[in-house]
Amino acid sequence: MAKPSTTRRYGKQSKKPRAAGRLFVELPQTPVQMTKTTLVNDDVSDDDGDDVVAKLTQNISLIKICDENTQLPESPALPRRRTRQSVLADPPEDRDIEPLTPLKSGPRLPESEIEEEEDEGEEEEKEVTPTPHVEEEVKELQILSWAEVCPPGDSIVKIAEASYAEVYRVTNERGTSIIKVIRMSSPIKAQTKTQQKSGLVDEEPHSESDLQGELQISEWVADIPGFVVYKERYIVQGKACRELLETHQAFHKKLKRQDPGRLQFYPSPSRYLDDTKFLVVELGDAGTALEDFELATADQLWDIFFHVAIALARAEARIEFEHRDLHEGNLCIRRVSDPIPKDERDRTTCYGFSGLEITILDYGLSRAQADYDAEPVAYDLERDLSIFTSEHAAQCRVYRQMRSFLLRGDRVCLPPEEHKKPYINGVDGPITWAIHEPYTNVLWLAYLYEWMADNFSGPKKEVNSFKRATKELWTYLDPEADENVPGFESASDILRYAVEIGWIDEDQLMGGRDEVEKSILSILSPDDVDSGVSDRSVRRSPRKRRPTAV
């Protein structure tokens, strides 16, 4: 396809048709608290599907929480694993993008500080590193140059390194986009002696077939509030522009100051050649990574945790989604309104007062399934077991917890030395990451809970009040709890718990009455849908008893 003749613009709105109804009531941002409204069922049509929704809505509105002396029902001691047999036997709007205020370009590096690696170097260092031949040429995608991706006047800033990709923020007067840049199988310059001495370990190039899973999941979740907006993808080919080199160097100098022992895994843009190709995925800008966001109030803890839980519950219900890599670098925070002062709150709920928007991104390790008859899309983590044996960061333990659960079906986390043989037999035969195990989402929510408490920078009384209020929640969330303690099976379980205990009001969750909305309503009251049982006190997860609806 011919290159465009006009300057590339960012912050454009999506052209996909808007969905007829919302999964939840306008929750691309954390919902603003408002006075409680009564749900009216008079406008519900008489077809069978809408009758089900009307009944569910009536049942949900009758939810009551008993006093603190009410005994918990008997619950399974551990999250229940779904076996292959049970999976086979049990079939299971796009948001407008408001352009952000353009960021100011960072200071340019003086000529004297540009590293020697951008020089041509010695003659023997000019040889090209051979890479595997691309079997599938991506001819249908638009091909751009780096100068077209970031023309003069635009700002490009490297902000992260994700699974297989470098992440940049590109800004101009129209708005902002995030681009994920994945190197495809194509030639680059060999490492210079300086780079070799520094311990540079080049990230392996990837074919488009390696990336199809993440791209497919990106499209599936893009219309679910709480997930990053997917815009488009294209090929970028050729030598890097100066702006790209400068931000690459500034990023790695910053990381070296923070972690002197950290290795560099992505090639310097000074090594790009005319035939060097990248697959670029353009996404909406979601703000600041959680790891760089200053947590200062308990309201922020409530909203971040439960906004993520709600988004995961939506995706579980819609496409049997598991993120499998939801650490602090893959959550973004953006302020969209002022916090609501405590003296202006009309309700006793705990959710929706911070004014923050929380967005989930990066699906490189994720799993999803469009429908019951379709093949699941899942990255096979058995291909590289180093993710389970590494102890470089706290999140590495969660990878081991996930794999241990697939192998054992309980809370025991096997040590790194037990994760060195791929495809070993577990409780259901050889381990497979294609199976749907939503308990992995619970493990990452537990990690998020602990990470936020440990990295809270506000008054100590704020974080202590949050931990006191959620003490029972943590009892069931804790992946290291005793084996006789009940546990949540999924993010949907956590959402039900939060609604029934009164932290989230049902009118914050319900919107249009489409097919997806019905599946979300079934999260809150599954027994009524599946069996018509009126006694809802028997639950798989550790939730309080509540009276039977009358």
Q: Where are the domains of the chain?
A: 48-80+293-365+440-530, 111-286
* pLDDT of 156 above 60: yes
Does the predicted TM-score (pTM) go above 0.85? no
Query: H/E element holding 278?
Result: strand 277-284
* pLDDT of 454 above 90: yes
Confidence of residue 110 (pLDDT cuts 50, 70, 90): very low
pLDDT, position 215: 87
The span from the CA of 210 to the CA of 136, in Å, is 11
Integer-rounded Cα radius of gyration of the chain: 25
Exposed/middle/buried for residue 35 (C-beta within 10 Å: 0-12, 13-18, 19+): exposed
* pLDDT of 276 above 80: yes
Q: Are 453 and 302 in contact (CB under 8 A)?
A: no
Region 328-357: mean pLDDT is 89
Q: Choose between 57 and 221: higher pLDDT.
A: 221
pLDDT tens digit sequence for 395-414: 999 999 999 999 999 999 99
Q: What whole-number percentage of the chain has pLDDT above 90?
A: 46
48-80+293-365+440-530: CATH topology: Transferase(Phosphotransferase); domain 1 (1.10.510)
The answer to which of 126-140, 185-199, 327-341, 418-432 has the lowest mean pLDDT is: 126-140
Region 294-309: mean pLDDT is 97
pLDDT, position 518: 52
The answer to which of 19-33, 49-63, 183-197, 484-498 has the lowest mean pLDDT is: 19-33
Confidence of residue 549 (pLDDT cuts 50, 70, 90): very low
pLDDT, position 164: 78
Mean pLDDT for the chain? 74
Q: Choose between 236 and 122: higher pLDDT.
A: 236
* pLDDT of 355 above 50: yes
CATH 3.30.460.80 at 111-286, yes or no: no
Which long-range contacts link 521-528 to residues 24+ away (Cβ below 8 Å)?
521/53, 521/56, 521/57, 521/60, 522/56, 522/317, 523/313, 523/317, 523/492, 523/495, 523/496, 524/56, 524/60, 524/495, 524/496, 524/499, 525/56, 525/59, 525/60, 528/55, 528/56, 528/59
pLDDT, position 510: 65
Q: Choose between 437 and 538: higher pLDDT.
A: 437
